[in-house]
Amino acid sequence: MESATLATRMEAAADGSALLLAEGDIDLATAGILRDAVARALEDSTSLIVDVGGVGFIDSSGLNALVWGHWEAQKAGGSLRLRRPSPMLCRLMEITALDSLLLVDDDQRDPDEA
């Protein structure tokens, strides 16, 4: 069985927010990587955009890491927004009712999303 991998990197967003790019799979084995990257990003800016356009798979562990990041950003007086979520991630957020909690940049949805 192939192990999941996740790569993250930080950039500055045009609006001054921290931009965290995630590429790979986010599951039980890699959710900690995402959580650590979110924590580091929130040290630099309380406004965080997580670009998940490069995420091929996400499970409940990954959703948990995003929700944790949302609450940490809110505690710091900021916000966490998702950029380019896949149709699969949007569907997961919808069926778990996280679409009312996790904000998505409307103009940054994945172009393949229906």
Tens of pLDDT along 41-95?
Answer: 999 999 999 999 999 999 999 999 999 999 999 999 999 999 999 999 999 999 9
Q: What Cα–Cα distance (Å) separates residue 34 from each residue in 15, 37, 47, 113, 114?
A: 22, 5, 16, 23, 27
Would you say 26 and 62 are in contact if contact means Cβ atoms under 8 Å apart?
A: yes
Q: Where are the beta strands (DSSP E) in the chain?
A: 6-12, 18-26, 47-58, 79-83, 103-104
User: Which tens digits make up the pLDDT trace of 22-46?
Assistant: 999 999 999 999 999 999 999 999 9
Q: Judging by DSSP bridges, how do beta strands 79-83 and 103-104 pair with one another?
A: parallel
Query: Would you place residue 16 in the very low, low, confident or very high pLDDT band (cuts 50, 70, 90)?
Result: confident
Token output for 88: 């699969």
Query: Does pLDDT of 1 surpass 50?
Result: no
Terminus-to-terminus CA distance in the chain, angstroms? 32
Residue 39 near residue 75, CB atoms below 8 Å: no
Tokens 């998702």, located at residue: 82
Q: Nearest-CA neighbor of 18 among 8, 26, 31?
A: 8
Confidence of residue 14 (pLDDT cuts 50, 70, 90): confident
